[in-house]
Amino acid sequence: MDLNIAIFASGSGTNAEQLVKHFSQVEGISTSIILSNKPDAFVLERARKLGIPTSTFSKSEFTAPTFLSVLESHRIDYIILAGFLWKIPAYLIQAFENRIINIHPSLLPKYGGKGMYGSYVHEAVIAQGEKTSGITIHLVNEKYDDGRILFQASCDLSPEDTPDTLASKIHTLEHQYFPQIVEDYIRDYTLKT
């Protein structure tokens, strides 16, 4: 088994970095490229330091089916969304059916959907007086944050928590679980197909 993943990210890239480091130690699964819709995203700097090729793209490039050629040229088998904010076009979901994995910083189905990302999620969780929050790792379908849930992990909130302290708790969970859950899913799904 020799599988290639592409990581899509829009921001700082801490999850992307954890994924790259994890898969550098894993036999049979490699990070081939990190793609971003933001030319100034810090994830691209992280990728350069880790020796991973990068590519950036515009909205019109991403929504055109010809974008598949970028993934084909890197022989991509799975797409991992690590803080990627654009909705995935239908052609890409069809081409990579059950092979696009996302991580979301709440316990879906709560606090998901369009516009719910990063600090917006944490602010909403705190504003609602939730006692717990967490992460959801899920497959991607045509709707935001609606695909089959693969894994969830939770953390407790204290009355003193702010969006920043909650974000820190969520990052800890993301880094702890995301790479291993991705690996487990890829191995399991590849064996079945």
What is the set of active-site residues?
A: 104
Work out the angle between the directed axes of helices 14-24 and 42-50 (0-180°, nearest 10).
Answer: 20
Kindly report the number of other CB atoms within 10 A of residue 124's CB atom: 16
CB burial class (10 A; 0-12, 13-18, 19+) of residue 14?
middle
Q: What token pair was written down for 150?
A: 């693969």
Of 163, 108, 154, the residue nearest 131 (C-alpha): 154
CB 166 within 8 A of CB 191: no
CA dihedral sign of residues 140, 13, 7, 19: negative
What's the CA gap between 133 and 130, in Å, rounded? 7
Structure letter (DSSP) for residue 180: H
Of 35, 41, 40, 56, the residue nearest 11 (C-alpha): 41
Structure letter (DSSP) for residue 88: P
